[in-house]
Structure 1
Amino acid sequence: LLINHTWDFVVMQAREQLRASKQRKKADRIVLECQEQAYWLINKPCPGEFDPLMDVSTGRLVLTMCVCVCVCVRACMRVCSFMKYSEQYLHHDPIMSGCLPSNPWISDDTSHWTINTDMVDTPTRLRVERWSFSFMELLNDLMGRREFMIYLEKEFSAENLCFWVACEDLRHGESSKIILKVEEVYKNFLAPGAARWVNIDSRTMERTLEGIKRPHRFIMDDAQMHIYFLMKKDSYPRYLKSELYKNMLAQAVIPQETKKSVFPFMRRQRHSSPSPAMVTQATEDDGKAKGAGPGASSASNSQI
C-alpha cells in the first residue's frame, strides 16, 4: 500500500509538470531548455570519474585488473627485449661463448687483442657482424666508422658524419677550447656557403644559432641529434645493403681456436701476476732501503 501511494504521488506530480510546461509560452520553454543545457555543460562529471551507479567492489576489481594487465604487458615487453638482446649478443660474449683464438688471460696468447685492435687490415667476422646490430654499435667502433665514412663519401654525404664527429669532440673535449671548437663547427658546417654545409631544419638551426652566442659544450646537441637520426634512418640501412659492407663481411676472418698441447711438458708456463698488495709492499720496502743508504747497513753490521 505504501508503494502504491508513493507511485500515485509521482504520477500526479508528473502530470502537473507536463500541464505546466504546455501552458508556458514558447520563449519561456526555450529559455528553460538553454538553462538546463548550460547547467549540464558546467556540472557534467569529468571523464573517468567514479560512477555512483556502479558497485564499489566492481569498480575496484576493474581498476585492479587494468593495473595488473598494464604491469604484465610492460614486464613481458622488457623480458622479450632482454631475451632478444641476449640472443643477439650470445656469440659475441666471451664469458658465455668463449673468445677466439684463445683467452689471453688464461693462455698468455695476445692474438685476441692483436686482431681486435682499433685499426686492423682485416677485421674479424664477429666484429663486422656487430656493426649491423645498431647504428651506435657501428659508430662506437673506429674501424666501422672509417668504413661508413668511405661509403658516405661515395654517396656524397660524408659531411653528416664529419659534423657528428665534430660535435662529439666538442662535447667530450677540453673546456678551454670550447669557444674555438664552436666557431670551427659553425664555420665548417653551419655558416652560409660552408664547405661541408649540413642540411638541418629551420627550427633547429635557429635554436643552434641563438645558442652559439653563449657557447657551451652541449650547444650542438639538437643539431647533432637531427643529423644522427637522419643517418640512422637513411644512410645506415643503405650501407648494410651495400656491396661495400657485404664484401667486408665476406673477407672478414674467423680466428681458429688455439689447440692445446696434449703433453704437459710442451705447454707454455703460465705467468700469474702478483697481488697488487704485494707489489705495493715490495715497492715501499725498496724505497725505505734506498732512503736509508749505506750508513744503515754499516750500523746493522756493527750490531751483528
Structure 2
Amino acid sequence: MESIVDRMQDDNTGVPVRTVKSFMSKVPSVFTGQDLVSWMMRNLDVDDQTEALHLGSLMSAHGYFFPIDDHVLTVKNDNTYYRFQTPCFWPSRSGEPENTDYAVYLCKRTMQNKQRLELADYEAENLARLQKMFSRKWEFIFMQAEAQAKVDKKRDKLERKVLDSQERAFWDVHRPVPGCVNTTEVDIKKACRMNRHSKMTRPNYAVPGGRISPSVSEADLHNPQESLKYDVIRDNIDVLRQKLEKRRVKISKVAESYIAYYEQYSEFDAFITTPDPSNPWVSDNTEFWDYEKTMNPKDIPQRRVKRWSFCIQELIQDPAGKDHFSKFLDKEFSGENLKFWLACQELKGLSNSEVQAKVQEIFSEFLAPGCHNPVNVDSRVAEAVRSRVETCPNRFCFEEAEEHIFKLMKSDSYSRYLRSDMYKEFMSGTRKKVRFLPSLAGNFVLSKHTSSS
C-alpha cells in the first residue's frame, strides 16, 4: 500500500492535489474521491470501479489518506475532499501509540478552538477514563498538552489546519469511533520484521536420516515419508517461533486484574451476602420461584440491576436484564440486533433435524433482500452468509454476522443503554435489600440437613 501511495503523491504522474478556495476560507492540499478512483483505474491493474473503491477504502482504513469532512474512513466516487496522511503517521512508521499520547492529544483538543475541535461523546468518555487512569501524573500530561498547544499556535494558519486534520485522522485509525473496525490490532512493524526474516536463509533442520534444508522441494526428497517428516518439523518450528514472539504478560498486571475482578464481584459472593431472593435449594424460602412467575420489575433487587453494568454478558444472561435491554433497543430502532443474536444462540442448541428450517427462517427474517428486520452487516459478510445458507446450511452459518452484531451492541448500544435515563430510572426504582449471613448460618443449614436425614 505504501508503494502505491508513493506513486499517488508523485508531482508529475500522481493524484492532482490542490488548494480549494471558497468565499471565506481556503482548503489546502486536497483531492477528490473521483480523482483518486480515476487514477487507480488508469495506473493500476483495476478495471472495475467497485474494486477501485474497495482498494481505496482499505488504504483509507489503514490511515494513508482520509476525508476532511467526516471521520468515516471510506472512499466515495464523488467530489468529497480527501488529504494524504503525512508519512510519520503511517502505521509501519508510527506503531501502536500509548494511552498517554492519546490523553495528551485529547487534553490539547480541549484547549484549542472549542467550536472547531469540540470533543465527540466517545472522546469525552475516553478522556474521563484516561484522567481517572492517570490521576497521579495527570498534571504532567496537562503540562505537555499545554506546551504542544502553544507550539501549534505559532504555526501558519493553513499549516496548522493541515496538521490538526492529520493528527485527528491518525487517532481515528488507532482509536476509532465505536462500531468501526480497528485495522491496527496487528503490529505492522512486527509483521514487516517477520516478512523480512522469512526471506532470509533459514538453518537446516536435523531429521532422522539426514539434514533437510527448508528450501528443498519435495522432488528432491527421497520418499514421501521424508517429505511428511520435513513438513511436520517445519510447522512445529513455525508454531514455536510464533509463541516465543508473543508479548509476555507481567505477573503484577495479572494480579491487579484478579484483585479488580474480585473487588467488583465481592458484593455478589454467596459466602458474604445471601442471594436475594435466597436460593430455594438450601432454604425454605420460595420467593425466588414466585418472583420468576410474576416478574414484577419493582421487586428486582438493586444489586441484581447493578450487576448489569459490569458487562453486556451479565445483562443478557439475566432474563429481566435481557427484556429491559430489548425494550431500550426497540426505542433506539435497533431491536433486530438482539433478536438476531438470540436466534443464532438458539440455533446452536437445536437438534440436527431442526437446523435447516431454522437457518432459512433466520436468513429470511434478518439477512435476505427485502426482509422484515434487516441487521446492519457489510456486503462481504452478507454475501458469505448467503453462500453458506445456499450451499451447506448448518448451525454455524451466521457466525461472522453474529460476531459483528454482538461487537456492535457491546461497543455502541450497551454503552448508550448504561447512560440512558431508562436504565437510571429502573435502577433507582428497584428495591434495596441486602441481608448479611449470620455467623452460624452454615451450622444451621448443616444441622437442618442432619436432622432431616
* TM-score normalised per structure 2: 0.40
If asked which structure has higher relative contact order (CA below 8 Å, sep 6+), I would say 1
Q: Distance in 2 between matches of 1:256 and 1:93?
A: 12
Q: Distance in 2 between matches of 1:118 and 1:133?
A: 26
Counterpart position of 2:420: 242
Offset, 1:170? 0.8
Q: Distance in 2 between matches of 1:231 and 1:111?
A: 33
Offset, 1:120? 3.7
Which of 315, 318, 329 pairs up with 1:152? 329
Counterpart position of 1:90: 266
In the alignment, does 2:264 pair up with 1:76? Answer: no
Which of 180, 197, 221 pairs up with 2:374? 197
Which of 220, 230, 234 pairs up with 2:408? 230
Counterpart residue identity of residue 188, structure 1: E
SS at match of 1:200: coil
Q: Distance in 2 between matches of 1:161 and 1:102?
A: 30
In the alignment, does 2:314 pair up with 1:137? Answer: yes
Residue identity (%): 39
Counterpart residue identity of residue 186, structure 1: F
What pairs with 1:92-131 in structure 2 (closer than 5 Å)?
Answer: 92-100=268-276, 107-111=283-287, 114-115=290-291, 119-122=295-298, 123-131=300-308
Offset, 1:84? 1.0
Gaps of 5+ in 2: 1-199, 201-243, 439-446
CA contact (8 A) 1:118 1:143 kept: no
Counterpart residue identity of residue 187, structure 1: S
Relative distance call for 1:257 and 1:117 in structure 2 (3 A) is: farther
Relative distance call for 1:74 and 1:211 in structure 2 (3 A) is: farther
CA contact (8 A) 1:107 1:270 kept: no
Q: Distance in 1 between matches of 2:399 and 2:294?
A: 26
SS at match of 1:233: helix
CA-to-aligned-CA distance 1:247-283 (integer Å, 9 cap, x gap): 11011112364999xxxxxxxx9466866xxxxxxxx
Offset, 1:110? 3.1
CA contact (8 A) 1:102 1:257 kept: no
CA contact (8 A) 2:340 2:366 kept: yes
Q: Distance in 1 between matches of 2:418 and 2:436?
A: 32
Counterpart residue identity of residue 144, structure 1: G
In the alignment, does 2:352 pair up with 1:175? Answer: yes
SS at match of 1:95: coil
CA-to-aligned-CA distance 1:175-220 (integer Å, 9 cap, x gap): 2110000100110000111110111012211221121120111111
CA contact (8 A) 1:151 1:244 kept: yes
CA-to-aligned-CA distance 1:220-266 (integer Å, 9 cap, x gap): 11100000000111110000011110111011112364999xxxxxx
Counterpart position of 2:432: 254
Which of 385, 397, 416 pairs up with 1:219? 397
Q: Distance in 1 between matches of 2:364 and 2:286?
A: 45
Relative distance call for 1:77 and 1:156 in structure 2 (3 A) is: same
Relative distance call for 1:109 and 1:197 in structure 2 (3 A) is: same
Which of 174, 185, 188 pairs up with 2:362? 185
Offset, 1:109? 2.5
Q: Distance in 2 between matches of 1:147 and 1:184?
A: 25
Q: Distance in 2 between matches of 1:110 and 1:163?
A: 34
Q: Which structure's residues are more often strand, by fraction?
A: 2
Gaps of 5+ in 1: 1-45, 47-66, 261-268, 276-304
Q: Distance in 1 between matches of 2:450 and 2:349?
A: 37
Highest CA radius of gyration, 1 or 2? 1
Q: Distance in 1 between matches of 2:437 and 2:251?
A: 44
After superposition, the CA RMSD in angstroms is 3.1
CA contact (8 A) 1:125 1:249 kept: yes
Which of 339, 359, 370 pairs up with 1:162? 339
Q: Which structure's residues are more often helix, by fraction?
A: 1
Aligned length: 202
Q: Distance in 2 between matches of 1:220 and 1:102?
A: 39
